């Protein structure tokens, strides 16, 4: 439990780990998408923090600028930036991962600026041509970081950084493998806390905590009082309370395809070759999100493999309201799951949990459907 | 239109066009009826031929490629592949509310809603599932301007198995460290040319034919010729009073996005250029007693075809240009095959709505500021589509820049240009009228 406390301390927007880092006179940058390589920032001795906005209760300013029909994650980020809630950040790095995130970048620059801003282009499909372009983008980002933060990102530093982040990926995969068991030692809610911590604290500290946590799990009695094994699928989710609602009703979340989940860490960066090349290949070719226009067949296969490996009873799509990418993707995935005979529930949600009562009713019904099978 | 020409086109439209072209044929019949009372101009000829080309291609066994509204079809024409701009359906059917049943059906099957996925493309899914959408042989789309478009094309591909090619339009980085932005740096051009060649290779493979180099160069020369007329036309619109009425500029876009690279396009764009030039020479205004010059840096409200005539009549307001009509692809050197590929690449980067929207907001703002200054604009109207995330999220910041830097009033309002039930025609007209009477005048 003590180790889990270490993760939980990282959950607020700013946290003691960030404070310690800044007290050493080092910089912190916020980033918005898992297509942005954290390794480059870390190699410049900059702490990369995934921008989260869990404390956002309302978005009046962001509604005016981003409009009320954009996803509430981006609106919450703009709102909190405008309220100076990210003052611990020395800047932000964004990308064109989706229309809303790329315009969030513009609105932040105009209405709630940071000392440093950068946006990088991420191609929309994978080919030799686009990987080559992405290498070019990563080189530009590297140069920009070096120029703006008086840092030298040598190949050696980049190798080290890749090693640290690959270690995280390996540890997280170990954690997920434990969740395959009949009686997994960890809930989905606790897993979400760990994942959120991972993108909010210095990575070496995270690796240390996670290593300790994994050894604590050895010999621990697992969870057996659940009714169904659930997989969560969708975009940005960093709210343990959301998963708690499902788990309170007897569903145990055992795996996922989420921005902060498997899609974030499943694939390693290849070592032993030019580090920029390795990063470009890994980030563009990793298990994709629907922004990648050629990736649907691979995403389906990945989903089905996970469903089998983790013996998933049912899939819950957590679909952020107004997200074009995921609505279309889920529309296609529904047919794939029907073909596989896997029950699913399509739950529209806001970034911050609202309407928990309605959600409970729908999840409860879904559980009953799965039980009756 | 002379009766023998009318009868000729009536005859050409006869026969069975196939079940999936029923709506296409209905649009053709409607247009012919409308044009019957008008002069038969090269623009009318272009429009009618556009609708006849598709069934003709079917009869002749020519492959048909479906593509979105932001790509010039010249390569397709050069390769004898019939282009079908998909949004002709959503735009063409909107004034008659004929796409609304398909929007409802698309809602019913669970493919998105109005504020999430754009109805320029979304109803394609419901239309297809009801057997009313043409099934092309090939599918092409770009990553820009929006996710909504790219996703609907993927869903369509997923449902139909029609082979698909996607082109990635690189994000155009605005860097304050540079005094001027490099729109076409060497790397960007190299990236785009490679993709154009990939597209050419894919088309060759799919159609089992090689690109005829001579025909390619001929096509590119025709594109250049039409581009010259469009650029001249756009220059003429700077004249006060504007020599043509509100919707005319959009005509050039329609021509270039459907028939760029054909003689029909050359004739139609020349006709529009000549019309504007003649009116400038004669001092004729497109809107008599022009009082207001409006910029419309977004799409039309397509379901209300009488909106601009209403503004002309009520306020002597001329909508000088919309975002699509502002086709600013310049003529390029096409003396070699390599230059032809480069021209296609540049044409893609500059195409209406791509050039202004493929990067950070500064480019959209610069486009509006420059246009307002050069075209002597009095007011700006932004009728933003609810689902258009990339544009709607720029509107407020852009409007502040316009007001602060030029003191020009701006109106922003949300609507669905393809579905009159979201914000009805009367509400839109009232909102614009209030803006003009209470803010502009």
Q: Which contacts of B96-99 are long-range, i.e. CB under 8 A and separated by 24 or more positions?
A: B96/B30, B97/B303, B97/B420, B98/B23, B98/B26, B99/B123, B99/B127, B99/B418, B99/B419
DSSP code for B329:
P
Q: Provide the total of helices (H) and of strands (E) in chain A, helices listed first.
A: 16, 8
- Taking a C-beta distance cutoff of 8 angstroms, is the pair A94, A32 a contact? yes
Across the interface, do A65 and B147 touch by the CB < 8 Å criterion? no
Residue A232: the pLDDT is 98
> What is the band of B322 on the pLDDT scale with cuts at 50, 70, 90?
very high
Cα–Cα distances in angstroms (integers) from residue B153 to residues A25, B28, B141, B207, in the given order: 49, 25, 7, 20
The DSSP result for B43-75, as a single string, is HHHHHHHHHHHHHHHHHHT--EEEE-TTS--HH
Minimal-distance CA residue of chain B relative to A100: B389
Across the interface, do B397 and A107 touch by the CB < 8 Å criterion? yes
Query: Can you list the domains of chain A with their CATH numbers?
Result: 17-156 (3.40.50.11890)
Q: Residue A99: which of B110, B170, B389 has the nearest Cβ? A: B389
Instruction: Give which of B384, B392, B393 to mutate to test A binding, by max A Cβ within 10 Å.
Output: B393
Look at residue A219 and tell me whether its pLDDT is greater than 90. no
Looking up tokens 């909508």 gives: B319
- Taking a C-beta distance cutoff of 8 angstroms, is the pair B411, B432 a contact? yes
Across the interface, do B389 and A324 touch by the CB < 8 Å criterion? yes
- Cα B18 to Cα B55: distance, rounded to the nearest angstrom: 8
Tokens of A213: 């946590």
Minimal-distance CA residue of chain B relative to A95: B171
**H or E element: which one contains B219?**
helix B213-236
For residue range B380-429, list pLDDT tens digits in order: 999 999 999 999 999 999 999 999 999 999 999 999 999 999 999 999 99
Cα–Cα distances in angstroms (integers) from residue A296 to residues A167, A237, A292, B403, in the given order: 28, 21, 8, 44
- Taking a C-beta distance cutoff of 8 angstroms, is the pair A287, A299 a contact? yes
B160 to chain A, any CB pair closer than 8 A? The answer is no
Look at residue A1 and tell me whether its pLDDT is greater than 80. no
- Taking a C-beta distance cutoff of 8 angstroms, is the pair B320, B375 a contact? yes
For residue range A139-156, list pLDDT tens digits in order: 999 999 999 999 999 999
> Using omega within 30 degrees of 0 as the cis cutoff, is the peptide bond preceding A332 cis?
no
Across the interface, do B361 and A325 touch by the CB < 8 Å criterion? no
- Taking a C-beta distance cutoff of 8 angstroms, is the pair B287, B79 a contact? no
Look at residue A45 and tell me whether its pLDDT is greater than 60. yes
The three-point CA angle B96-B98-B99 to 5° equals 125
Nearest to B78 by CA among B173, B217, B172: B217
- Residues B37-44 have a mean pLDDT of 96
Looking up tokens 């922003």 gives: B412
Look at residue B21 and tell me whether its pLDDT is greater than 60. yes
**H or E element: which one contains A30?**
strand A28-31
Residue B283 backbone zone (phi > 0: left; psi -120 to 50: alpha; other: beta):
left
Give the 3-state secondary structure of residue A347: strand
B168 to chain A, any CB pair closer than 8 A? The answer is yes
Residue A373: the pLDDT is 81
- Cα A70 to Cα B115: distance, rounded to the nearest angstrom: 8
Look at residue B137 and tell me whether its pLDDT is greater than 70. yes
DSSP code for A67:
-
C-alpha distance from A29 to closest chain B C-alpha (Å): 18
For residue range B337-385, list pLDDT tens digits in order: 999 999 999 999 999 999 889 899 999 999 999 999 999 999 999 999 9
- Taking a C-beta distance cutoff of 8 angstroms, is the pair A323, A72 a contact? no
Q: Residue B116: which of A64, A105, A322 has the nearest Cβ? A: A322
- Taking a C-beta distance cutoff of 8 angstroms, is the pair B298, B383 a contact? yes
Look at residue A41 and tell me whether its pLDDT is greater than 90. yes
For residue range B46-73, list pLDDT tens digits in order: 999 999 999 999 999 999 999 999 999 9
Considering just the CA atoms, what is the radius of gyration of chain B in Å? 21
DSSP code for B19:
G
Residue B177: the pLDDT is 52
Burial of residue A197 (CB within 10 Å: 0-12, 13-18, 19+) is buried
DSSP code for A32:
-
The three-point CA angle B347-B60-B121 to 5° equals 45
B414 to chain A, any CB pair closer than 8 A? The answer is yes
Start-to-end CA distance of chain B, whole Å, equals 40
For residue range A86-98, list pLDDT tens digits in order: 999 999 999 999 9
Cα–Cα distances in angstroms (integers) from residue B253 to residues A20, B53, B73, B273, B328, in the given order: 57, 18, 12, 13, 10
DSSP code for A27:
-
Q: What is the 3-state secondary structure (H, E, C) of B244-303?
A: CCCCHHHHHHHHHHHHCCCHHHHHHHHHHHHHHHHHHHHCCCCCCCCCEEEEECCCCCCC
Give the 3-state secondary structure of residue A269: coil
Cβ neighbours for B229, distance < 8 A, ≥ 6 positions apart: B266, B269, B270, B272, B273
- Cα B180 to Cα B290: distance, rounded to the nearest angstrom: 36
Nearest to A335 by CA among B104, B392, B111: B111
Across the interface, do B198 and A127 touch by the CB < 8 Å criterion? yes
Nearest to B135 by CA among B151, B159, B105: B159
Number of C-beta neighbours around residue A84 at 10 A? 8
Across the interface, do B158 and A296 touch by the CB < 8 Å criterion? yes
Residue B186: the pLDDT is 82
Across the interface, do A119 and B170 touch by the CB < 8 Å criterion? no
Residues of chain A found within 8 Å of residue B166, distances taken between Cβ atoms: 124-125, 293-294
Instruction: Give which of A71, A113, A293, A346 to mutate to test B binding, by max B Cβ within 10 Å.
Output: A293
Residue A354: the pLDDT is 82
Residue A115: the pLDDT is 97
Residue B179: the pLDDT is 42
For residue range B85-133, list pLDDT tens digits in order: 999 999 999 999 998 999 999 999 999 999 999 999 999 999 999 998 9
For residue range B152-172, list pLDDT tens digits in order: 999 999 999 999 999 999 998
For residue range B176-226, list pLDDT tens digits in order: 554 444 567 788 899 999 999 999 999 999 999 999 999 999 999 999 999
- Cα A67 to Cα B390: distance, rounded to the nearest angstrom: 11
Residues of chain A found within 8 Å of residue B398, distances taken between Cβ atoms: none
- Cα A237 to Cα A193: distance, rounded to the nearest angstrom: 11
> What is the band of A246 on the pLDDT scale with cuts at 50, 70, 90?
very high
> What is the band of B305 on the pLDDT scale with cuts at 50, 70, 90?
very high
Residue B180: the pLDDT is 43
Start-to-end CA distance of chain A, whole Å, equals 36
Report ipTM (2 d.p.): 0.95
- Cα A274 to Cα B246: distance, rounded to the nearest angstrom: 56
Cβ neighbours for B133, distance < 8 A, ≥ 6 positions apart: B20, B89, B124, B127
């Amino acid at each position: 439990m003590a180790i889990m406390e270490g993760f939980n301390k990282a959950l607020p927007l700013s946290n003691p780990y960030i404070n310690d880092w800044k007290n050493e006179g080092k910089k912190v940058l916020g980033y918005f998408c898992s297509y942005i390589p954290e390794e480059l920032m870390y190699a410049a001795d900059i702490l990369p923090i995934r921008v989260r906005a869990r404390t956002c209760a309302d978005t009046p300013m962001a509604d005016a600028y981003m409009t009320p029909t954009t996803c509430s994650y981006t609106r919450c980020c703009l709102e909190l930036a405008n309220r100076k809630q990210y003052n611990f950040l020395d800047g932000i790095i964004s990308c064109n991962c989706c229309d809303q995130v790329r315009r969030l970048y513009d609105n932040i620059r105009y209405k709630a600026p940071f000392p440093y801003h950068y946006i990088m282009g991420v191609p929309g499909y994978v080919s030799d041509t686009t990987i080559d372009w992405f290498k070019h983008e990563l080189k530009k980002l590297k140069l920009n970081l070096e120029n703006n933060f008086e840092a030298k990102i040598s190949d050696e530093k980049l190798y080290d950084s890749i090693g640290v982040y690959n270690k995280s990926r390996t540890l997280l995969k170990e954690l997920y493998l434990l969740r395959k068991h009949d009686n997994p030692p960890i809930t989905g809610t606790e897993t979400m806390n760990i994942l959120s911590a991972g993108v909010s604290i210095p990575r070496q500290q995270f690796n240390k905590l996670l290593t300790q946590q994994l050894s604590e799990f050895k010999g621990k009695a697992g969870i057996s009082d659940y009714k169904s094994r659930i997989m969560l699928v969708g975009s940005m989710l960093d709210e343990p309370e959301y998963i708690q609602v499902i788990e309170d009703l007897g569903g145990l979340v055992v795996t996922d395809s989420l921005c902060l989940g498997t899609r974030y860490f499943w694939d390693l960066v290849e070592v032993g070759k030019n580090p920029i090349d390795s990063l470009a290949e890994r980030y563009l070719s990793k298990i994709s999100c629907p922004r990648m226009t050629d990736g649907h067949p691979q995403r389906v296969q990945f989903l089905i493999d996970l469903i089998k490996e983790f013996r998933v009873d049912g899939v819950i799509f957590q679909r952020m309201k107004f997200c074009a990418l995921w609505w279309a993707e889920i529309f296609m995935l529904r047919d794939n799951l029907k073909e596989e005979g896997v029950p699913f529930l399509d739950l529209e949600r806001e970034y911050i949990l609202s309407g928990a009562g309605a959600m409970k009713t729908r999840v409860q019904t879904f559980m009953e459907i799965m039980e009756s099978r | 239109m002379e009766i023998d020409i009318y009868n000729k086109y009536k005859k050409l439209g006869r026969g069975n066009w196939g079940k999936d072209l029923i709506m296409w044929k209905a649009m053709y019949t409607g247009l012919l009826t409308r044009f019957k009372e008008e002069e038969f101009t090269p623009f009318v000829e272009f429009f009618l031929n556009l609708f006849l080309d598709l069934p003709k291609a079917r009869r002749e066994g020519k492959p048909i490629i479906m593509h979105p509204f932001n790509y010039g079809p010249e390569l397709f024409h050069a390769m004898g592949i019939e282009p079908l701009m998909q949004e002709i359906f959503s735009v063409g059917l909107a004034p008659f509310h004929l796409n609304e049943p398909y929007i409802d059906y698309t809602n019913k099957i669970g493919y998105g809603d109005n504020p999430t996925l754009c109805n320029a493309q979304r109803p394609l899914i419901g239309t297809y599932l009801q057997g009313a959408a043409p099934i092309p042989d090939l599918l092409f789309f770009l990553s820009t301007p929006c996710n909504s478009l790219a996703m609907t094309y993927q869903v369509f591909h997923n449902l139909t198995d029609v082979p698909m090619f996607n082109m990635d339009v690189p994000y155009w980085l605005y860097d304050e460290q540079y005094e001027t932005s490099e729109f076409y740096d060497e790397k960007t051009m190299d990236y785009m040319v490679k993709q154009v060649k990939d597209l050419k290779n894919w088309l060759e493979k799919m159609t089992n034919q090689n690109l005829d180099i001579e025909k390619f160069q001929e096509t590119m020369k025709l594109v250049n010729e039409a581009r010259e007329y469009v650029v001249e036309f756009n220059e003429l619109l700077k004249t006060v009073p504007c020599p043509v009425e509100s919707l005319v500029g959009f005509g050039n876009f329609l021509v270039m996005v459907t028939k760029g690279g054909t003689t029909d396009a050359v004739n139609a764009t020349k006709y529009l250029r000549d019309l504007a030039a003649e009116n400038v020479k004669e001092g004729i205004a497109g809107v008599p007693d022009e009082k207001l010059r409006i910029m419309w840096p977004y799409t039309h409200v397509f379901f209300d075809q009488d909106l601009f005539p209403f503004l002309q009549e009520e306020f002597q307001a001329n909508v000088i240009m919309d975002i699509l009509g502002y086709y600013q692809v310049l003529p390029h050197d096409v003396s070699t095959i390599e230059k032809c590929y480069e021209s296609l690449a540049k044409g893609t980067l500059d195409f209406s709505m791509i050039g202004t929207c493929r990067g950070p907001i500064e480019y959209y703002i610069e486009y509006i500021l420059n246009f307002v200054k050069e075209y002597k604009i009095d007011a700006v109207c932004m009728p933003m589509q609810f689902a258009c995330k990339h544009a709607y999220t720029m509107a407020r910041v852009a409007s502040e820049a316009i007001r602060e830097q030029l003191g020009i009033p701006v109106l922003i309002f949300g609507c669905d240009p393809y579905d009159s039930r979201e914000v009805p025609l009367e509400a839109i007209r009232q909102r614009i009228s209030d803006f003009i009477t209470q803010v502009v005048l």
